[in-house]
């Protein structure tokens, strides 16, 4: 790995993910020479200054990117293409544009018309996070042992792909390169559908409580608590994810609904074999996640 990976790195949107990257870079000196940090929210910038996570901290996106060797967009997926459109004309020739967005197809389609021939675009999605957001939520070890999914287009130069892969390895992540649609289907299944179910089940429990005029959530013990941790996540981020990965999400939701209906049918009929098989399969899968260090 050539050091530094980037002379100047510009991070736009230093929330949970962006500030975790910045913290890691502050903890492992030498990966980049200079950190420029930009956001549209003055309170976020103030916090980044207090935490000393940037060498230059600004709300001027165009100035922020002009000397950067790499610009990393860490804003919600619904804002990635418009922020990219605003900064691309001001980036220096030969620089790399990357982002950490949770969805790919619609973001790439909206962003591609703004790309320049002399800027490589290498999207990278770290499969790591928490239900918290903002600059105070980040931590330097967030990406350790987690997958980072790179989805470069066929036009992206290999050198830029290698550079972004090296960057995420330095964040502690394991790298997998995959196709855009493949990415969206996988993430719909393992990330977007669980969030949809978690948000919805909290509402279902709350409505039941209203209907029964009784406390329901007061008695939510660890099953409900563990299952719904992710329902505390940020509404803007998740609105954008659901709307930007709607086809893949609706398709896996449909599969899940069929499987849930099959389980309901087994319970209705008293079909013990199907019930036990479904539970045992779930248990096996959950245990294998722990063995793969992803849980
Ligand atoms: N939270 C997770 O678990 C997670 C994991 C992997 C990837 N991601 C992706 O990473 C990105 C950031 O997520 P996060 O959880 O760090 O979000 P966050 O809410 O913690 O931070 C987002 C930051 O972007 C800024 N921002 C929003 N719109 C902007 C705009 N138009 N111009 C400039 N700044 C703007 C906000 O002020 C905020 O500081 C999203 O695309 C998300 O899908 C999130
Ligand atoms: O662990 C959590 O709280 C997360 O929501 C992290 C999580 C996920 O669903 O796995 C959320 C969105 C991402 O794009 C990647 C990771």
ipTM (interface predicted TM):
0.99
Nearest to 195 by CA among 146, 131, 99: 131
Q: How confident is the model at residue 295 (pLDDT cuts 50, 70, 90)?
A: low
Residue 127 lies in a domain: yes
Residue 224 lies in a domain: yes
Atom of ligand 2 nearest to the CA of 128: 16
> What is the C-alpha separation between 224 and 5, in angstroms, rounded?
44
Mean pLDDT, residues 106-115 taken together: 96
Q: Are residues 103 and 150 in the same domain?
A: yes
CATH number at residue 226: 1.10.3660.10
Q: Are residues 166 and 251 in the same domain?
A: no
Q: Quick check: 153 and 126 in contact, CB under 8 A?
A: no
Pick the residue whose CA is nearest to atom 3 on ligand 2.
130
Domain finish residue from 119, 146, 178 = 178
Q: Does residue 276 carry a pLDDT above 90? A: yes
For 166, residues 6+ apart whose C-beta sits below 8 A from its C-beta are 1, 5
> What is the C-alpha separation between 28 and 140, in angstroms, rounded?
9
124-126/147-150 β-pairing = antiparallel
Residue 1 lies in a domain: no
**Total domain count for the chain?**
2
Q: Are residues 74 and 167 in the same domain?
A: yes
Residue 257 lies in a domain: yes
Q: Are residues 158 and 192 in the same domain?
A: no
- pTM comes to 0.96
> What is the C-alpha separation between 36 and 61, in angstroms, rounded?
10
Q: Are residues 167 and 215 in the same domain?
A: no
Domain finish residue from 178, 193, 224 = 178
Q: Are residues 103 and 218 in the same domain?
A: no
Question: 20-61: per-residue pLDDT in tens?
Answer: 999 999 999 999 999 999 999 999 999 999 999 999 999 999
Q: How confident is the model at residue 2 (pLDDT cuts 50, 70, 90)?
A: confident
More confident residue, 292 or 102: 102
Q: Are residues 274 and 157 in the same domain?
A: no
- For residue 214, give its domain range: 182-291
Please name which ligand lies nearest the alpha carbon of 229.
Answer: 2
Mean pLDDT, residues 233-260 taken together: 98
79 lines ligand 1 (CB under 6 A): yes
Question: 169-222: per-residue pLDDT in tens?
Answer: 999 999 999 999 999 999 999 999 999 999 999 999 999 988 887 788 888 878
Q: Are residues 81 and 221 in the same domain?
A: no
- Best residue among 230, 231, 289 to mutate for probing ligand 2's pocket (most ligand atoms within 8 Å of CB) is 230
Q: Does residue 14 carry a pLDDT above 70? A: yes
CATH number at residue 70: 3.40.50.720
């Amino acid at each position: 790995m050539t050091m530094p990976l980037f002379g100047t790195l510009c991070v736009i949107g230093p929330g949970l993910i962006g500030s975790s990257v910045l913290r890691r870079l502050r903890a492992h000196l030498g990966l980049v020479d200079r950190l420029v940090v930009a956001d549209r929210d003055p309170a976020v910038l103030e916090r980044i200054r207090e935490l000393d996570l940037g060498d230059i901290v600004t709300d001027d996106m165009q100035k922020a990117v002009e000397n950067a060797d790499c610009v990393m967009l860490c804003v919600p997926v619904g804002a990635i293409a418009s922020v990219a459109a605003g900064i691309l004309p001001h980036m220096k020739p030969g620089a790399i544009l990357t982002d950490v967005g949770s969805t790919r197809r619609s973001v790439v389609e909206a962003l591609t018309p703004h790309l320049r021939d002399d800027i490589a675009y290498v999207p990278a999605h770290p499969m790591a996070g928490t239900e918290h957001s903002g600059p105070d939520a980040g931590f330097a070890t967030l990406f350790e042992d987690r997958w980072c999914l790179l989805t470069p287009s066929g036009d992206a130069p290999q050198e830029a792909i290698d550079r972004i892969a090296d960057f995420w390895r330095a964040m502690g992540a394991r790298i997998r390169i995959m196709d855009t649609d493949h990415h969206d289907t996988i993430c719909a299944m393992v990330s977007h559908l669980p969030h949809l179910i978690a948000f919805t089940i909290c509402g279902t429990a709350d409505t039941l409580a209203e209907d029964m005029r009784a406390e329901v959530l007061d008695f939510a013990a660890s099953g409900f608590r563990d299952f719904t941790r992710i329902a505390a996540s940020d509404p803007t981020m998740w609105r954008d994810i659901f709307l930007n990965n709607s086809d893949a999400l609706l398709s896996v939701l449909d599969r899940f609904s069929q499987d849930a209906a099959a389980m309901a049918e087994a319970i209705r009929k008293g079909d013990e074999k199907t019930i036990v098989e479904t539970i045992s399969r779930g248990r096996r899968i959950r245990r294998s996640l722990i063995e793969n260090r992803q849980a």
